[in-house]
Chains A and B, each alone.
Chain A
Amino acid sequence: MKRRAALVMAVAMLVGCQREQRDLRLDPPVAAALDQVAPTANGIGGAPPDVYVALGGPYESNAYNLGEGKRLYTWFNCKGCHADGGGASGPALMDGWWRYGADPVSLFVSLRDGRPNGMPAYRDKLTTEQIWQLVGYVQTIGMASATTAAPSRNDEMQSRPAENRAPAAADLPTPPSR
C-alpha cells in the first residue's frame, strides 16, 4: 500500500516535472531558430518560426513565461511609454486596435526591430526568448478572449482589469481607484 502510494507520487512528480520543465537558458540552436520569423514585406503578419510551432506556442499559454513577460514589461521601460496598456507617448496596447497587427509575428517584429514612429528596437537589449515572453504578455493585455493561462497577480498599483479577467477588450467595470 505504502509502496503503491510512493509509486503514484513518483509518477505524479514526474508528470509534474515534465509539465513545468524549464531551462535556465534556451539551447542556443533553439534560440537562434526562434528568431527566424518570416514577416511579410511590410513587416505586418507572416509565418512564425517552425520551432515555435513545434514547441506548441509556449509563450502564449504558459503562466511562467507570461509572468516573465510581465516583469520584463516593467523592467525594460515599456511601461513608461505604453503605461499598463492604456498608452502615453506610445499607443494603447489594450484597445484592440493595432497599427501593425496582433499576431505573434507582428508583435515579435515590433519589439525586435522597433517601428518607425517611435518604437525603439529591443534587438540588442533582450534575448530572443525574452522578446517572445513579452509578445505573450502583450497579447494578454489586448486579449479579446479568455485563455487558460495568466501572468502573476499584480502586487503594484491596480490600474485596469487584470489580465486573467479577459475579455479585456470588452467594457468591463473599471477597477476601484481608492
Chain B
Amino acid sequence: MALWAALFLAVGGAGRAEDAPGRAPAAAITPETVRGLRLVSTFRTGNPQAHVASPQVAGDRLLVFTPFPHTLFALKVEAGHLRVDWTFRPDGNRMVEGVACCGLGLPGPAVAGDRLLLNTLDGHTIALDAATGRPLWDVPSAAVPRGETLASAPLVAGDRVIVGTAGDDFGIRGRVAALEAGSGRPLWTRFSTGSDQDVGIGPGFAPFYDRDLGRDAGVTSWPPGGWERGGGSVSGTLLHDPELGLVFHGTGRPAPINPDQRPGGNRWSSGLFARDAATGAARWFYQLASHDLHGVSGTGPLLMTDRDWKGVRRKLLIHVGLSGYVYVLDRVTGEVLSAEPFVPVNASRGVDLATGALLRSDNKTTRIGTMTRDVCPSLTGPVTPGGAALSPETGLLYIATSRLCMDIEPRPATYMQGTPFTGANLRAKRPPNGSLGALVAWDLAAGKPAWTIQEDLPVLGGPLPLPGGVVFYGTYDGYLKAVGARDGRVLWQEKLASGIVAAPTFFTAPDGAQYVSVLAGQGGALGPSAGLEVDARDATAARGLGNVLRGVPPPEDGGGALYLFALP
C-alpha cells in the first residue's frame, strides 16, 4: 500500500489523495537539510520536444516517458547512478503531430501492481509488464484522422481502466471509456454531448443545481448537429474515489471557440461529472460555464480531501479551474462550497453559490468579428492538469500558475475533419499587474493565498510538496527550486540546462536512499504549447503565446534530460 500511495503521488494529479495512507516518508528533506542537496546523476532522453510528463515511480524503477514519438524508459538507481533497465517504443502514427493542439507530450503511465497502463498521443492504450516492458495488450482509444488524441494518463479504478479523449481544438465529440484492466476489453463509453443515453444520464442522475437538469440537453442546448462536433473533451485529470465508487472528470470547452456558431447552453461541455465507476452512469454534473465564452473548460486539476468545512466533516473535491478559480465542491452531491480566484480574473465576477452560475462580466463577452481586449485569464489556461498538489502536513494547496490575459477575436470556423475547428484569433497579454507566473500556496478554508512566489515566466513545472516541509518546483528559465512549505522562503535552487515544464518527483531507492528527480526539457522557444519550429514575431503563434514570450531567449538545448538529486 505504501508503494501505491507513493506512485499515486507521482502520477501528476491522477488519483492524488491528500490523506492516502502510508505515503512515502521523505521527512529527511527538511528546510534545514535541503541546502545539502546535490546532483548525483543525469540521463538524456534524446527527444527534443517539451517534456511535460513527470518522472514516475514503479517499484524500484523510475519511469521516464518522452513526448511523441514516445519512448518509455524504465531506469534503476544503483548507488546513485541511473541505469536503463528496459525501454518500450510503441509504433507511432506521425500524422498525429498536426492534431496535437498543445505539444507532443502527455503524462506517463498509471501503475497497477505489476502492470503499467500507458496512453499514447496517437490514441493507443497499452498495458505493459512493469518488470520487462513487454506489451500485454494494445487497444485504440482515439482516432487521429478525426482529430482525436490522448492527453492524460489512464486511471486505474479497481479492475477497470478509464481513458478520456482530447481534441477540443479539432471539434471532436468528447468521451470517456472504461476498459477491463486484464484484457483491454471495452466495458462502457460515455459522451460529453448528445442524447441522455449517450451521456449516461438516467434515473440515478441528481445534479445539485436545477440548471443542470433537462431532458436530452446534450442535444437541445446546441444548434442542430452542433453536439456532434461540440468538443467537451475528457483531457484533464481523472480521479477515482473507491469508497464512493465514483470517477470524477472534467469536460473540455465547447467547439468552436466562436460562440456565435453554437447558441445555447452547450451541455455537457465545460463542466465536471461524477460517474459510477462500474457503469459510467452520471451521478451529478456541474456546469462551470454555460455557453462558455472564454475557454473555461473543466480540464484543470482535480484533487480530493476529507476535511472539516465550516464545522462539518465533508468529502471535498477540489477543482483548480481554467476560469481562474479554485472550486471547492462536496464530491458526494456536487454542491459548490467556494470559488475564489487564484490568478487575475476579469472575464467573470465570481460564482453565485446559490445557483452555481458563473457571473460573466458584461464588458468581456466575446462576439464574432469583435475584438475583446485584456480578458483574464487567457484561453491557454492558468494551470496545467498536473499543476496542483495538496500537502497533508500544511493543509495548503500548491498551484503552479500562468498569469496570462488575452485579446480574443472570434471569427467563423468551418468544420473539416482533422483540421482545427476553433474560429478565434488569440493573442496572450500580460496581466494588469504582477508577473507572468507564480507558485501559489492556497489556503482552501480562507479562499486566498497563504503566500505567493512571483516568477517572471509562467510556472509549468510543479509543484511537489514533501512531508518534511519543503515544496519543489521548476521554472521556465530552468531553475529547480526548493521553498519552505509554510512560508515560501527559497531555500535552495539549481540551474539546469533547459526550462522545466513537468513536476519533480520524489523517489526512495531499494537501499533507502532518497532522491528528488526532475526532467528539464522545455522544447522550443514557446515551450509545450507548440513544436520546435515557432516564430514568436507572430503574436498569434502557439495560441497567442508568441505575444508575451517573444523576448524569451530559446534554450540552447531544449531536449529532455533527467536530473537526480540526493542529500549527502
Task: Spot the interface stretch: B17-25, B218-226, B238-246, B418-426.
Answer: B418-426
B535 at the interface (CB under 8 A from A): yes
Do residues B427 and A89 form an inter-chain contact, with CB atoms below 8 A? no
Grouping DSSP codes into helix (H, G, I), strand (E, B) and loop, the A interface class, with mixed when no group exceeds half, is: loop
Interchain nearest-CB distance for A54 vs B (Å):
33
Interchain nearest-CB distance for B535 vs A (Å):
4
Chain A residue contacts of B422, Cβ below 8 A: 80
B98, B535, B539: the one within 8 Å of A95 (CB): B535
Chain A residue contacts of B538, Cβ below 8 A: 83-87, 92, 94, 159-160
A85, A91, A157: the one within 8 Å of B409 (CB): A157
Do residues A157 and B535 form an inter-chain contact, with CB atoms below 8 A? no
Chain A residue contacts of B97, Cβ below 8 A: 89, 117-118
A77, A116, A120, A157: the one within 8 Å of B407 (CB): A157
B293 at the interface (CB under 8 A from A): no
A28 at the interface (CB under 8 A from B): no
Task: Spot the interface stretch: A43-51, A104-112, A170-178.
Answer: A170-178
Interchain nearest-CB distance for B106 vs A (Å):
14
B169 at the interface (CB under 8 A from A): yes
B33 at the interface (CB under 8 A from A): no
Docked CA distance A92–B535 (Å): 6
Docked CA distance A159–B540 (Å): 6
A75, A94, A116, A158: the one within 8 Å of B537 (CB): A94
Docked CA distance A67–B99 (Å): 27
Interchain nearest-CB distance for B530 vs A (Å):
5
A-B contact count (CB 8 A): 134
**Contacts A157-B427, A174-B550 given; does A86 touch B535 at CB 8 Å:** yes
Chain B residue contacts of A76, Cβ below 8 A: 414, 416, 419
Task: Spot the interface stretch: B197-205, B466-474, B512-520, B541-549.
Answer: B541-549
Per-position contact with A for B399-443: 1 when CB-CB < 8 Å, else 0? 000000001010101101011111001010100000000000000
Docked CA distance A117–B96 (Å): 7
A90 at the interface (CB under 8 A from B): yes
Chain B residue contacts of A83, Cβ below 8 A: 538, 540-543, 546
Interchain nearest-CB distance for B239 vs A (Å):
28
A27 at the interface (CB under 8 A from B): no
B98, B371, B413, B418: the one within 8 Å of A117 (CB): B98
Do residues A86 and B414 form an inter-chain contact, with CB atoms below 8 A? no
Chain A residue contacts of B533, Cβ below 8 A: 87, 91-92, 95, 97, 99
B187 at the interface (CB under 8 A from A): no
A125 at the interface (CB under 8 A from B): yes
Chain B residue contacts of A37, Cβ below 8 A: none
User: Across the two chains, which residue of chain B brings its CB closest to A95?
Assistant: B535
A156 at the interface (CB under 8 A from B): yes
Chain B residue contacts of A174, Cβ below 8 A: 537, 539, 550
User: Across the two chains, which residue of chain B brings its CB closest to A94?
Assistant: B535
B536 at the interface (CB under 8 A from A): yes
Chain A residue contacts of B425, Cβ below 8 A: 156-157, 159
B105 at the interface (CB under 8 A from A): no
A119 at the interface (CB under 8 A from B): yes
User: Across the two chains, which residue of chain A brings its CB closest to B542?
Assistant: A88
Interface size on B, residues (CB 8 A): 42
Docked CA distance A117–B533 (Å): 13
Do residues B543 and A88 form an inter-chain contact, with CB atoms below 8 A? yes
- Residue among A85, A86, A97 with max Cβ neighbours from chain B (10 Å): A86
Interchain nearest-CB distance for B299 vs A (Å):
17
Per-position contact with B for A24-68: 1 when CB-CB < 8 Å, else 0? 000000000000000000000000000000000000000000000
Do residues B542 and A87 form an inter-chain contact, with CB atoms below 8 A? yes
B418, B421, B537: the one within 8 Å of A86 (CB): B537
A161 at the interface (CB under 8 A from B): yes
Docked CA distance A94–B538 (Å): 9
**Contacts A80-B419, A83-B542 given; does A89 touch B95 at CB 8 Å:** no
A74 at the interface (CB under 8 A from B): yes
Per-position contact with A for B310-338: 1 when CB-CB < 8 Å, else 0? 00000000000000000000000000000
Chain A residue contacts of B271, Cβ below 8 A: none
User: Across the two chains, which residue of chain A brings its CB closest to B426?
Assistant: A157
B101 at the interface (CB under 8 A from A): yes
**Contacts A87-B541, A161-B537 given; does A119 touch B409 at CB 8 Å:** no
User: Across the two chains, which residue of chain B brings its CB closest to A85?
Assistant: B538
B534 at the interface (CB under 8 A from A): yes
B100 at the interface (CB under 8 A from A): yes
B478 at the interface (CB under 8 A from A): no
Docked CA distance A77–B407 (Å): 20
Docked CA distance A177–B548 (Å): 10
A81 at the interface (CB under 8 A from B): yes
B215 at the interface (CB under 8 A from A): no
For residues 143 through 197 of chain B, which have their beta carbon under 8 Å from a beta carbon of chain A?
169
Do residues B414 and A77 form an inter-chain contact, with CB atoms below 8 A? yes
B301 at the interface (CB under 8 A from A): no
Chain B residue contacts of A160, Cβ below 8 A: 537-540
B259 at the interface (CB under 8 A from A): no
**Contacts A94-B537, A161-B537 given; does A77 touch B419 at CB 8 Å:** yes
Interchain nearest-CB distance for B533 vs A (Å):
4
User: Across the two chains, which residue of chain A brings its CB closest to B408?
Assistant: A157
Do residues B535 and A87 form an inter-chain contact, with CB atoms below 8 A? yes
Chain A residue contacts of B96, Cβ below 8 A: 118
B15 at the interface (CB under 8 A from A): no
B521 at the interface (CB under 8 A from A): no
Chain B residue contacts of A89, Cβ below 8 A: 97-101, 530-531
Docked CA distance A119–B533 (Å): 14
Docked CA distance A93–B420 (Å): 17
- Residue among A76, A85, A157 with max Cβ neighbours from chain B (10 Å): A157
Interchain nearest-CB distance for B173 vs A (Å):
18
B98, B371, B407, B532: the one within 8 Å of A118 (CB): B98
Chain A residue contacts of B540, Cβ below 8 A: 83-84, 86, 157, 159-160
9 smallest CB-CB distances across A and B, nearest first, come from: A80-B420, A86-B538, A118-B98, A86-B541, A118-B97, A91-B533, A77-B419, A92-B535, A157-B425
**A-B pairs with beta carbons under 8 Å apart, 10 shown:** A79-B420, A86-B539, A87-B541, A88-B101, A88-B530, A91-B533, A91-B534, A92-B534, A159-B427, A159-B546
